[in-house]
Amino acid sequence: MSERDEFGAFLVGFVVGGLTGAVVALLFAPQSGEETRALIKDKSIELRDRASHSAEELLAHAESAAAEARQRAEELTKEARARATELAHEVRERGKGALDAVRKPKKDGNEAASA
Query: Residue ranges per domain, the chain?
Result: 1-30, 31-114
**pTM: predicted TM-score of the whole model, two decimal places:** 0.45
Residue 100 corresponds to which amino acid? Answer: D
Count CA atoms within 13 Å of residue 63 on its CB side. Answer: 6
pLDDT band per the 50, 70, 90 thresholds, residue 106: low
Q: Tell me the H-state helices in the chain.
A: 2-27, 33-114
32 Rama sector, left if φ>0, alpha if ψ -120 to 50, beta otherwise: beta
pLDDT band at 38 (very low <50, low <70, confident <90, very high): confident
Per-residue pLDDT tens for 51-97? 999 999 999 999 999 999 999 999 999 999 999 999 999 999 888 88
